[in-house]
Structures are given as structure tokens and as C-alpha cells.
Amino acid sequence: MRERLLRLSRTQKTLTMLAVDLLIVWMAAFSAFYLRLGYEEFAARYLNSFIITGLLASVISLPVFYSLGLYRALLRYMGQHVSFIILRASFLAFLLLTASITLLGVHIPRSVPVLYWLLSALFLGLSRYGVRFWLRGFRLRDILFAPIKLPQSKGHEQQGRPVAVYGAGEAGNQLVEALEHSREFRPVAFIDDDARLWGRTISGCRVFSPEALNRLILQTGAEEVLLAMPSATRQRRREIVQHLETFGLPIKTMPGIRDLASGKARLQEIMEVDIGDVLSRDEVAPIAELVEQDITGRVVMVTGAGGSIGSEMARQALARHPKLLVLLEHSEFNLYTIDQELQLSIRKLGLNLPVIAVLGSINDPVRLLDVMRTYQVETLYHAAAYKHVPLVQYNVSQGLRNNVLGTLYTAQAAIMAGVKQFVLISTDKAVRPTNVMGASKRLAEMVLQALSLEPEVRLFQPELFGSTPGTVITNHTCFTMVRFGNVLGSSGSVIPLFREQIRTGGPVTVTHPDINRYFMTIPEAAQLVIQAGAMGQGGDVFVLDMGEPVKIITLAKRMISLSGLSLRDEFNPDGDIEIKFSGLRPGEKLYEELLIGDNVEGTIHPRISRACEEMLAWAQLKIVLAEMIESLNEHRYSITRELLLRYVNGYAPSDKVVDWLYQHPGHQPVKDEIS
């Protein structure tokens, strides 16, 4: 019955409500006569007067109800404002009915019209609130006997910034209800694509079409738009954002379905609009077998679990129900944060899944081996890395120790502990690198490529693992590398920086007008990493389809626009935010690539390709690593640079050595940059 009523057209629903209200009018009139006169006197002396009164009430009340908007409100989302409309409409109908009865000389007691007003208002209100709860799934006994939650004070109702909510569905209505008690926002209108809703009133807010935004702003004074479409596709959200941008209003959004379901966010939390809704394309649905293959029922470990990528890898792993999840992180605060988040998700989802939060460094081989053996790790996602290009450029030794040696120690510990799958999260900056960070990630890839070809491994620096020189370890670990570009909103991304610069009034700093980058959302990148790892056969370098590269200046302009501000330039000197060019930083590229060569083949996943890259044999690579460590220990970074130039294919440093602690052979600190 509910579904049948909900499927009726707008006209059919209005006619149904008019028929019900006609019945209510006659019921109210009959009840008024009956309560005032009793049955015997009513039937004997006032039956004709009752019929005339009922006809007059019908002719007067229904047009009044219609003209005051009582049939524009959707019953499912009817708010408290409807009570006021009912009282106002029934009172106006009472006045007109009283005047008509007086003019026509209808003989009835003077209290009957008053009773009619009170009873009609009561019946109208009860009918609408009853139907509202019934349509939303409540049973009759719930409607009659459930305790009533009184509304909070409305003293601050007119406070807050007037906002329009885009999306008049369930999420939009829940958002409006949540914001009714907010001091920051005051919902004044809905915007919706559904033409059947235009002109209707939902939760006290008029519904406008997207093309009527100018009229909406004039009539309601809306100063901001809140997107309430958590289940819309990225393509649709991008189209909406692009349309809204032309009106110059700030655009914000409510959390997505995934964050609401996981408990990471609450409905009333309003966020900056996801720049991914503007830049990225729709995500391809994951292949279930691939995302579950290496995780479901297995012991999974994530290094760098407190970072942007590592924390998302942990979330994605948790959603696939591993046997046990081990988080390794050297930052106490970051580890605490992700551990608390995952524990909350586990409680909300009712899972029985241990999460082990381990403080430790990937440069501590004994700790790595101890953790992997203790928990018998089967799948390892290696996300720990230093990735900020300028910082690594100025801290050469730490960048190489963490990214190269840390990966090496983690990989050797994985071999010794019998880990089945090892997936390295790499970067597009490893392709023909112009900076130390990119070169370090390419060298880390080469370490895994070399180890993948060794059925038996003679460890590098075995003494660090408590082993004796010459020890040979049987290798049963499948090593895989996944290479992709920037992820939106990560700790090293320009997006948080731009957002803060816009918040403080600018300027927004861009290094070069032509610089561009590939971008992908963190959840999509993590899902693709998991799927690529499942396809690995040993030594594979997988490349993710990042879509089209985006100019950073375009990104900056879009973020200024989404904030409801204007760009200040030579064409608009009175604009709000200026963009300044700061120049390329040491080691920074204008363009990024994903492949070193052209030898690439597709896979069963449309967004993942397999690349065949050059490599060094393990025996030769160990010699290179030993020379590199020696140069780092002595702060002879010119030698370190020569080693990278010789062995990292395509390495073309764009600057001199700029390490803060760079020293000449006499170990006397110098301030000059020495090449």
C-alpha cells in the first residue's frame, strides 16, 4: 500500500489529499454540531443547517488550504512549519465560514464555527503527521504510543548563514533536520534535478530547479550551497559543481555514504567540497576476487600505516575481513589516530578482528623480523616512505636510508618470515627522476625486482638481522610494485596547502604556470594497489591509469572558485585571491610520467597495466648499495649522486646537491651548493 501511494503522480497525490481533506471538513463540521448540541437536538432541529454549513465549509476551506500551500509539502518530509500552515489555513477558513454563515442567515449556535476551526485544525494535523510516519515505515502502534521527542528551542532559528541544500532526497532532508539546531548554517531552500519537486515545500524549504539559482538567491538570500548527494556518481557531482561554480557561491558538501556508514563522519558535519568531484573520473568497480584474494582470512601488515596512503590501505584491508591486521608506524600520534579509527569501525560493524598497533621503524631490521614472525604475516603492503620532494632533496641521507634501505630491510625480513605477498607502493616520480626522492623510489623498485629473481637470497647486511655472513634464505615471497601519481588530499598534496592559503586570504603559491600532475583519490588508489598486488607474479611493476594530467594553476583557480571567491589578476584587480608563481623547487619536474620505456601490457583490470623495466642483478645491486651507504656515512653526496646517475635509469638531476649537511672531503661544513 505504501509503495502504491508513493508511486502515484504529483496530481494523483494532490487529488488524494483533497479527497481526504474534504472528508475531514465534513467530519469536523459534524463533530462541532454533535459536541455543541448532542445527537437528539442536532438531528431534530439543525440537520439542514449542518448540510449548508458542511457545503460552505467545503467550498471555502479546500481553496484556502490549496492557496496557502498545504498541498505543496511532501508528507514524508513534512517539517514543523506545516503545523503553522494548518493553523493559519484553518483559522482563515473559520473566519470566511463565519462571515458566510452570518451573511446567509444560517441559524446555528455561535460556538459551532469555533469548534469547527479547532477540530478541523486537529484532524488536519493528525492526518498529516500520521501519514508522514506511516509512509516512513512506522507501524500504527508506533505512531500512537511511541514517546514524543520535543523540539529544541527555536531561539536561534534565524541565526546562521543562509544556505541552499542541493538534493531534496532522504539525505538532504536529514541534513536540513540536523542543521535546524545549528548556529552556523540556516537552510532556506532546496535545489533538485527532479522536475516533479520544483515548487514543492519540503521540511519548510521551497524546492528550486538548478536553472533557477539566480531567483533562489534573490528570494532566499542564500549565501552558500551544501551538496547532499552522498550516493551520486563522481561524474554527476562534477557536472553539478561545474554548474554551481558559475554563480559565485561557496560550495560545501556533506560526508559520503562510505564515511557515514563507517562512522568516520556524522551527517551534520559539513566539509569543503571534495576537489576529486571536480578533477577525477568515476571509479571503476573493484574486481571482488582481486580485492579479497590477498586479504580475506589472511594476516595483513601495513607499514607506514599512519600516513595518507597507509591509513587508507588499512581501512580497505579492514573492510575485506582479514584474519588479523598489523599496523607498523614510527609516529606515535599517527599510529594512535588510525588505531582509534579502526577500533571504532570494528565496534560499529560488530567485527571480531584483532588490530595490532606496532610502534617501529622500517630501518630497524630486528623489530621488523620480530613483528612478522610473531604474527605470521602473509600479506604486506609497504607504504612507509618519505615522499615530499623538497624535504628529501635537502635531506639526502635520510631520504635514501628510509626509502631504499627501509624497503630493503622490510623485504629481507619478509623473506626470512615467509611472507607470501609483498606490495611496494611506488610513485610516478620514480620514472626518469630529477630528484632524490624519485631516484630513491626507483632504487627501491630495483631492490624488489632483483630479489624477485632470487630463489635463494644471500642477505645484505645479515648481521642486522642476527644472522651470520653467507647465510642463504629460501625465497617464497612474491614481490610486486605499484606505481601511481599524486593522491588528492594526501599529507604531501598541494590541496591542503591551497585550502589553507585561501582560508587566510592568499596568495595561493604555484611553482610554475605550466606545471601539471596526475591525480587520483586516495580510496581509488588503495583499491587499485590491492588489486594490482593480487595479480603479481613476482617482480611486476604495475602502473595505474591516472587519467589526464591536471595543470596545478587550473587546480588553484578551481579551488578559489569553489570557495566562493574570485581570482585577482590583471583582468580583475579587485578580486579576492591572487596566484603567485614561486619558481620550481630543487628537483621538481614540470611534467610527471608513469613509464620509463614503452614496454607495457594490459591486465584483466582496465585501470592497471604491467610495465617491464630494466633492472640489476641482486649480486651487483648489493655492491651498489654498499657503496651508497659508505658515501652517505661520510656525507660524500657527490659520490651518492654519481651512483644514482650510473645505476638509476633516466636519473637527470635538475639541481646541484643541496643537502643541508653536505660536507666536502675534509668534513668541514660549507654553505655553498657543490655539484
Burial class (CB in 10 A: 0-12, 13-18, 19+), 566: middle
Level-2 CATH architecture, domain 161-274:
3-Layer(aba) Sandwich (3.40)
* Pair 230, 174: CB distance under 8 Å: no
User: Does position 82 have pLDDT exceeding 50, yes or no?
Assistant: yes
* Pair 160, 187: CB distance under 8 Å: no
Domain ranges for the chain = 2-145, 161-274, 288-487+520-546+593-611
Q: Which tens digit of pLDDT belongs to each residue from 384-404?
A: 999 888 899 989 999 999 999
User: Does position 296 have pLDDT exceeding 90, yes or no?
Assistant: yes
- Tell me what the pLDDT averaged over the chain comes to: 81
SS3 readout for 152-188 = CCCCCCCCCEEEEEECCCHHHHHHHHHHCCCCCEEEE
More reliable by pLDDT, 586 or 244:
244
* Pair 14, 71: CB distance under 8 Å: yes
Confidence class for position 279, pLDDT limits 50, 70, 90: low
The sign one gets for the Cα dihedral 107, 108, 113, 119 is negative
Confidence class for position 366, pLDDT limits 50, 70, 90: very high
Residues in the chain: 675
* Pair 313, 342: CB distance under 8 Å: no
Residue 664 has what pLDDT? 47
User: Does position 625 have pLDDT exceeding 90, yes or no?
Assistant: yes
More reliable by pLDDT, 17 or 593:
17
Q: Which tens digit of pLDDT belongs to each residue from 493-551?
A: 677 788 888 888 888 999 888 888 777 788 888 998 999 999 988 888 998 877 777 88
Q: Give φ, ψ of 633 to 5 degrees.
A: -60, -35
Which residue(s) pair with 162 in the sheet? 186
The whole-angstrom separation of Cα 669 and Cα 675 is 15
Highest-confidence segment of 10-14, 34-38, 624-628: 624-628
More reliable by pLDDT, 553 or 401:
401
Q: Which tens digit of pLDDT belongs to each residue from 184-224?
A: 788 888 888 888 888 887 777 888 988 888 888 888 888 88
Q: For 478-569, where are the alpha helices, taking DSSP H only?
A: 494-503, 522-535, 552-562
In the DSSP assignment, the letter for residue 208 is: E
Residue 103 has what pLDDT? 84
User: Does position 585 have pLDDT exceeding 50, yes or no?
Assistant: yes
State the average pLDDT over residues 633-651: 89
* Pair 131, 75: CB distance under 8 Å: yes
pTM over cut 0.85: no
Read off the C-alpha cell for 77. 518530509
Helical (H) or strand (E) element with 252: strand 251-253
State the average pLDDT over residues 247-252: 77
The whole-angstrom separation of Cα 460 and Cα 500 is 45
More reliable by pLDDT, 549 or 408:
408
Is the omega angle on the peptide bond into residue 507 within 30 degrees of 0, that is, cis?
A: yes
Q: Which tens digit of pLDDT belongs to each residue from 456-476?
A: 999 999 999 989 888 899 999
Where b means 16+ CB within 10 Å and e means fewer, 240-279 reads bbeebbeeebbbbbbbbeeebebebbebbebebbbbbbbb
**DSSP string across 406-426:** HHHHHHHHHHHHT-SEEEEEE
Residue 9 has what pLDDT? 67
Read off the C-alpha cell for 453. 629473481
User: Does position 300 have pLDDT exceeding 70, yes or no?
Assistant: yes
Residue 157 has what pLDDT? 43
Same fold, 161-274 and 288-487+520-546+593-611: yes
User: Does position 594 have pLDDT exceeding 50, yes or no?
Assistant: yes
Residues 6+ apart with CB under 8 A from 332: 359
Confidence class for position 672, pLDDT limits 50, 70, 90: very low
Between 94-103, 175-184, 194-203, 349-358, the lowest mean confidence (pLDDT) is in 175-184
Helical (H) or strand (E) element with 508: strand 508-510
Read off the C-alpha cell for 421. 605477498
More reliable by pLDDT, 91 or 411:
411
More reliable by pLDDT, 592 or 165:
165
Between 15-29, 130-144, 300-314, the lowest mean confidence (pLDDT) is in 130-144
Read off the C-alpha cell for 423. 606490495
Confidence class for position 325, pLDDT limits 50, 70, 90: very high
Give CA angle at 620 (618, 625), nearest 5°: 90
* Pair 317, 345: CB distance under 8 Å: no
Q: How many CB atoms lie within 10 A of CB 229?
A: 22
User: Does position 268 have pLDDT exceeding 50, yes or no?
Assistant: no
Task: Classify strands 161-166 and 185-191 as parallel, antiparallel or unpaired.
Answer: parallel
Q: Which tens digit of pLDDT belongs to each residue from 127-154?
A: 776 666 565 555 555 445 544 443 343 3
Question: What is the percent of the chain where pLDDT is above 70?
Answer: 80
Between 184-193, 408-417, 433-442, the lowest mean confidence (pLDDT) is in 184-193
The whole-angstrom separation of Cα 270 and Cα 279 is 20
The whole-angstrom separation of Cα 675 and Cα 655 is 8
The whole-angstrom separation of Cα 160 and Cα 172 is 18
Task: Round the CA-based radius of gyration of the chain to a whole number and report it.
Answer: 34
More reliable by pLDDT, 553 or 585:
553
Burial class (CB in 10 A: 0-12, 13-18, 19+), 445: buried
* Pair 255, 271: CB distance under 8 Å: yes
CA distances from 243 to 239, 248, 256, 295 (A): 6, 10, 20, 41
Domain 288-487+520-546+593-611 has CATH 3.40.1390.10: no
Between 149-153, 222-226, 235-239, 289-293, the lowest mean confidence (pLDDT) is in 149-153
More reliable by pLDDT, 341 or 500:
341
Residues 6+ apart with CB under 8 A from 349: 262
More reliable by pLDDT, 486 or 300:
300
In the DSSP assignment, the letter for residue 669 is: B
Closest CA to 300 of 352, 409, 358, 376: 376
The whole-angstrom separation of Cα 494 and Cα 238 is 20
* Pair 625, 404: CB distance under 8 Å: yes
Residue 276 has what pLDDT? 61
Q: Which residue has the cell 593522491?
A: 487
Between 6-10, 184-188, 492-496, 655-659, the lowest mean confidence (pLDDT) is in 6-10
Residues 6+ apart with CB under 8 A from 257: 230, 231
Burial class (CB in 10 A: 0-12, 13-18, 19+), 471: middle
